Amino acid sequence: MIQFQINKPDEKIREALINRINSLAKPKGSLGRLETLALQIGMIQQTLAPQLTHPVNVIYASDHGIADEGVSQSPKEVTRQVIYNFLNGGSGVCFLARQHGFEIKIVDGGVDYDFPENPRIINRKIRKGTRNFLHEAAMTHEELEKALQIGAEIVSDCHKEGCNIISFGEMGIGNTSASSLWMSCLTGIPLAECVGAGSGLNAEGVRHKYEVLKAAQENYRGDGSPLDIMRYFGGYEMVMAVGGMLRAAERKMIILVDGFIMTNCVLAASRLYPDMQDYCIFGHCGDESGHRKLLDYLHAEPLLYLGMRLGEGSGSVCAYPIVDSAVRMINEMHTFEQEAITKYF
């Protein structure tokens, strides 16, 4: 199995960062989350003058066998249709990426469709969709390993291109079902509290989804380890995101976390390497049932509450300007000493 070398940021610089932030010409703590963000980013980058360079939103895409059980409002072909919308620049995350200067990378990890060769689609297809985990494991051990490796390699490429802040998105009909099972199995939170409407199910649809997922959970006979839960219930795109997040933490990049699905990927990644969470900034609390509970479980405080549940990395990219403001604060604000202002706290 692929291994990562992930260490907590060195604490030696913490006091200097706090002193730098407190020396800025403002009441102590008056810029709130911008101050804590600047501290976190300075810790990650080990500098008093952090920078954000070449932001990227990586979208991993795959289909899910469990979609055959009618757990989603959307049919499976929507996965490929939305990918074409990405390519045409017309999706929700596309306008946000243009607005905030993000490059978008699209990775086909297991879409049940053969795309014509296109330089803007990174073809890393493992299989045309996972297996139906109501009846069998979604993927093999070898496929799990391959997905982790692919996810990590994509981020290595981003890092080589100068990226030091990365957002992860996903596209895959059925992936809120996989995420609900990851959440319940890895936290012990009852499944009923982890299952929501996904792409728009009504109350009857949510009830059916829960019954299917409950049956799948009861059928599971694995060892209960994080890797086995990931393998049995996961999607290729989700496992790739886990590998990508772990490589990003290893490279000391800032990880912008999107919604319910990507927060579950942080959950899985942190079960393998707990220190990776020090590199995560949680972009938003989404409107998918269970997301708030999962954020609380991770002791994560999101930047935005906008009722979003689109996925694709939309919430994390939308939060980027706040992160940028934190970096601009520590770099551009003058100090009390510079302006000969009496320090008033």
Give catalytic status of residue 142 as yes or no: no
From the list 117, 312, 332, 339, the catalytic residue is 312
Task: List the one residue out of 255, 249, 267, 274 whose CA is nearest residue 179.
Answer: 267
Task: Report whether 233 contacts 216 (CB < 8 A).
Answer: yes
Task: Report whether 328 contacts 320 (CB < 8 A).
Answer: no
DSSP 207: H
Task: Report whether 152 contacts 230 (CB < 8 A).
Answer: no
Q: Which long-range contacts (CB under 8 A, 24 or more apart) does 336-343 make?
A: 336/23, 336/24, 336/25, 337/23, 338/25, 339/25, 341/25
CB burial string 149-173: b at 16+ within 10 A, e below: bbbbbbbeebbeeebbbbbbbbbbb
Q: Please, which residues bridge with residue 254 across strands?
A: 165
Alpha-carbon torsion 160, 161, 166, 172, what sign?
negative
Task: List the one residue out of 189, 203, 164, 178 whose CA is nearest residue 60.
Answer: 178
Instruction: Enumerate the active-site residues.
Output: 312
